Amino acid sequence: MSEEGFEMQYIKEAFDANWISPLGANVDAFEKELAEKVGAKSATALSSGTAAIHMTLKAAGVGKGDIVFCQSLTFSATANPIIYENAIPVFIDSDEDTWNMDPRALEEAFQKYYNVKAVLVVHLFGIPAKMDEIMNLCNKYNVPLIEDAAESLGSYYKGKHTGTIGDFGVFSFNGNKIITTSGGGMLVSNNKEKIAKVKFWASQSKEKERFYHHKELGYNYRMSNIVAGIGRGQLKVLDKRVKKKKYIFDFYKKHLQHLEDIKFMPINKWNDSNCWLSCVTLHGKIRPIHVIEALEKENIESRHIWKPMHMQPLYKDFDYVGKDVSEKLFENGICLPSDTKMTDQDLQRVVETLLKLWGVSE
């Protein structure tokens, strides 16, 4: 059997065993296989990446009134679980080198706040953050580091998988991720006791009794055996997907980098990005909305990069530490079409549309 098509095999096995609901052989195997793939000691498969972040914050001891430092330039799913736990987010600016949490702003935040329970860093668009500097600060202040690696499965920081450098790592298998289970997430950690506790909470905190017995608040967060089967099949093509994502990024860069006032997302020598999305910033008369509208006319979708959390109405009353890097990235940034099913002809259509918008040829 080829590396593609395993999803249906694992799903069939689940149906044949009449084991559809949460837990089952696929769940156990998916946890083991992903942990081995990224080099983590333990993992638990959950219903979403958001659920994984929620459980991670709980495992880190975050509760009512606690401070959590959170990267501002991210999707809301990173920040929302902080509110689930009635904690207080403090948003941290990005640096231009990685588009991720700025260690200088993080240090400033640590000097300002003392009741900090966790730091939530994001590897945005698959670009690894400056983990050495961030880890050093977390160790200095004895605060757990959580990696939101939802977009960076298959990315490496100095030879190590993102999501395995801090105390906890979170992956997402939403429909738009590099591999998908249609919906789902995974929490990884070298702390096996914490992972076991999360599994307990995520399974409605059912005690080991002959009857249903509960001492703690539980959650319905476990991944189903069917979804996990899809994940097992998808994991087999992760390396192939990463290779295609990098090809797409290189294609765009080769054909577009000569355009005036365009700058591609940072790819640093010390990291290896999965290039989940190919993103650029624009610094001239042509603005992101012009690109979006030009591509829309060709029935091609593109998007602004994430709007920072501190700019969101929901979070406007929470503190923000930094300058204006994340704001400028939002104002100038755009995500180009990056689906792994895109052919060279599809990519060329995007390129030609942008060249026409700039009024130039290759």
Question: pLDDT digits over 183-226, tens only?
Answer: 899 999 999 999 999 999 999 899 888 889 999 999 999 999 98
CATH number where 114 lies? 3.40.640.10
Contact yes or no for 26/225 (Cβ under 8 A): yes
* Beta bridge partner(s), residue 189: 42
Q: Same domain for 41 and 141?
A: yes
Instruction: Round to whole Å and give the CA distance between 276 and 127.
Output: 8
- Please state the separation of Cα 297 from the chain's center in Å: 30
Q: Same domain for 66 and 118?
A: yes
Last residue of a domain, one of 235, 254, 272: 235
Phi then psi for residue 277, to 5 deg, are: -125, 140
Is 65 within a domain? Answer: yes
Judged against a pLDDT cut of 60, whether residue 106 lies above it is answered with yes
Q: Please report which confidence band the pLDDT of residue 4 belongs to, taking 50, 70 and 90 as the band edges.
A: low
Tell me the mean pLDDT in the region 157-168: 98
Minimum mean pLDDT range among 10-24, 59-73, 83-97, 237-251: 10-24
Last residue of a domain, one of 218, 235, 252: 235
Paired tokens of 121: 């860093």
Q: Same domain for 213 and 282?
A: no
Q: Same domain for 180 and 299?
A: no
* Beta bridge partner(s), residue 246: none
Structural domain harbouring 251 = 238-358
Q: Same domain for 201 and 268?
A: no
Instruction: Round to whole Å and give the CA distance between 355 and 362.
Output: 8
Q: Same domain for 275 and 255?
A: yes
* Beta bridge partner(s), residue 121: 147
Between strands 278-282 and 185-189, the pairing is unpaired
Is 126 within a domain? Answer: yes
Is 280 within a domain? Answer: yes
Is the pLDDT higher at 2 or at 84? 84
Is 1 within a domain? Answer: no
Tell me the mean pLDDT in the region 62-71: 97
Would you tell me the crossing angle of helices 49-59 and 76-84 to the nearest 10 degrees? 40
Q: Name which of 311, 315, 337 is nearest 325 in CA terms.
A: 311
Q: Same domain for 243 and 202?
A: no
Q: Please report which confidence band the pLDDT of residue 302 belongs to, taking 50, 70 and 90 as the band edges.
A: very high
Q: Residues with Cβ < 8 Å from 20, sequence gap 6 or more?
A: 14, 224, 225, 226
Last residue of a domain, one of 167, 201, 235: 235
Q: Same domain for 291 and 308?
A: yes
- Please state the separation of Cα 216 from the chain's center in Å: 29
Q: Same domain for 212 and 259?
A: no
Is the pLDDT higher at 298 or at 22? 298
Is 144 within a domain? Answer: yes
Distance in Å from the first CA to the final CA of the chain: 42
- Please state the separation of Cα 58 from the chain's center in Å: 19
Q: Which amino acid is at 244?
A: K
